[in-house]
Amino acid sequence: MALSDYRFCVVGAGITGLVYAERIASQLNQPVLLVDKREKLGGNSSATIDEETGIEVHDYGSHIFHTANETVWNYISQFAAFNSYRHHVLIHTCGHVYFMPINLKTIQEVSGKAFTPDEAREWIESSTNGSGEPRNLEEKAISLIGPDLYRLFIKGYTAKQWGRPPSELPADIITRLPVRMTYDTEYFNARHQGIPADGYDAMFRKMAGTPGIRLLLKTSFSEIAAQLSRDCTIIYTGMIDEFFGYCFGALEWRSLRFERETVPVRDYQGTTVMNYGDETVPYTRIHEFKHYHPEWEKPFNAGKTIIFREYPMAWKPGLEAFYPVNDERNNSLLRKYRELANRHPGILFCGRLGAYKYWDMDKAVAMSLEGFDALARRRYER
């Protein structure tokens, strides 16, 4: 089939692109092109099984599938069985290690008091000034946890992560983190969690293997765009501003750099993710991937382990984009790009990059399923 015969082209084989391509092929019974400039599937959630150790390494840092959305869970479970991993995060700060997110145990350790849930709440409330609507991340965090916990757990980590003081960041970033007045130390509230039992790559290959999908890896959209027919619907999961040649200026992103090390010990840090709260430590966290698969006994028990130290950095063209900076300036720039995109109804901008939204994998799946339904309805009505 010639490229010009395709009625659907999905640009980007990350989780969003994979869901769209799979739905178009399996539900609309339409052939679909799936194009990605990288040689691997999964976008920034891709993973590789290390040849030497057998450890599954998340190429762009830890990705844990977690969701409270039954539709999303039922959908993704068609492509993988998940192991029983439940995510826990610890934070190394001022010489101690605590459980994140902040919970009753963390509060007791910091305060030195064996508080009940109500006493812990009172302790926090007595230290917050409680005045007015929080205008930024710092004010929001202090209103939730008080200044002491803020200084230990949020201030340094957030300044390193976002490259600016929390007082200059939008408040909603911090609402990703729960605060719990219980001894529950799980990182996510989501009922469903896990890592694909055979690894992420096997799951992504199963999605991309849906009959009707023609996969073109190591191919950039610009190489094939001229060959597509005018009535080909394009699902574009790359950056919206890049697509339009940055005509209104570039949206701001945070990027990351990972320093990889194979360490000759069985267990480096005893857990998957250790955050570092002190600003004097230049990285934000260390990932130790073997802990995501304790059931993979051979790599788990072997005398070597693979870690990534994660260093946040400013994004510039040519670097990988990880986190959108959804402040007022960027969101108003985004509105301009969206208006421009509305004048191109044959192109849908989707996914974390296309929508410029700080989405987890499950949210990307949910948005893609909804987006696909809207696309299918539109086609049916035509």
Catalytic residues: 176, 180, 254, 285, 310, 358, 360
Tell me if 287 sits within 8 A of 308, measured CB to CB.
Answer: yes
Given candidates 32, 57, 91, 240, which one binds ligand UDP under the rule CB under 6 A?
A: 91
Q: Are strands 347-349 and 47-49 parallel, antiparallel or unpaired?
A: unpaired
Bridge partners of residue 58, in order along the sequence: 47
Query: Does residue number 176 form part of the binding site for ligand UDP (CB under 6 A)?
Result: yes
Query: Does residue number 10 form part of the binding site for ligand UDP (CB under 6 A)?
Result: no
Looking at 44-52, 108-116, 169-177, 192-200, which segment touches ligand UDP (CB under 6 A)? 169-177
Query: Does residue number 233 form part of the binding site for ligand UDP (CB under 6 A)?
Result: no
To which residue do tokens 């068609």 refer?
Answer: 78
Tell me if 24 sits within 8 A of 10, measured CB to CB.
Answer: yes
Query: Does residue number 113 form part of the binding site for ligand UDP (CB under 6 A)?
Result: no
Cα 82 to Cα 73, 78, 79, 203, 300: the distances in Å are 10, 11, 10, 10, 17
Distance in angstroms (rounded) separating the CA atoms of residues 183 and 232: 53
Give the nearest distance from C-beta 205 to ligand UDP in angstroms.
25
To which residue do tokens 């201030």 refer?
Answer: 155
Q: Which two tokens stand for residue 20?
A: 């769209």
Looking at 102-110, 168-176, 199-207, 229-237, which segment touches ligand UDP (CB under 6 A)? 168-176
Q: What is the DSSP string of 361-375?
A: HHHHHHHHHHHHHHH
Distance in angstroms (rounded) separating the CA atoms of residues 124 and 145: 6
Give the nearest distance from C-beta 286 to ligand UDP in angstroms.
12
Give the nearest distance from C-beta 162 to ligand UDP in angstroms.
6
Letters for 92-111 (x = contact with ligand UDP by CB under 6 A, - = none) are --------x-----------
Give the nearest distance from C-beta 175 to ligand UDP in angstroms.
9
Query: Does residue number 67 form part of the binding site for ligand UDP (CB under 6 A)?
Result: no
| Secondary structure of residue 251 in the 3-state scheme | coil
Q: Which two tokens stand for residue 28?
A: 């609309």
Q: Which of residues 252-291 bind ligand UDP (CB under 6 A)?
A: 275
Q: Amino acid identity, residue 277? A: G
Given candidates 49, 97, 177, 202, which one binds ligand UDP under the rule CB under 6 A?
A: 177
Looking at 12-20, 152-160, 200-208, 324-332, which segment touches ligand UDP (CB under 6 A)? 152-160
Given candidates 45, 53, 67, 158, which one binds ligand UDP under the rule CB under 6 A?
A: 158
Query: Does residue number 9 form part of the binding site for ligand UDP (CB under 6 A)?
Result: no
Looking at 109-117, 157-165, 188-196, 333-341, which segment touches ligand UDP (CB under 6 A)? 157-165
- C-alpha of 251 from chain center: 18
Task: List the beta strands (DSSP E) in 117-247.
Answer: 192-194, 213-216, 233-236
Judged by the rule CB under 6 A, the positions of this chain that interact with ligand UDP are: 91, 100, 153-154, 157-158, 161, 173-174, 176-177, 275
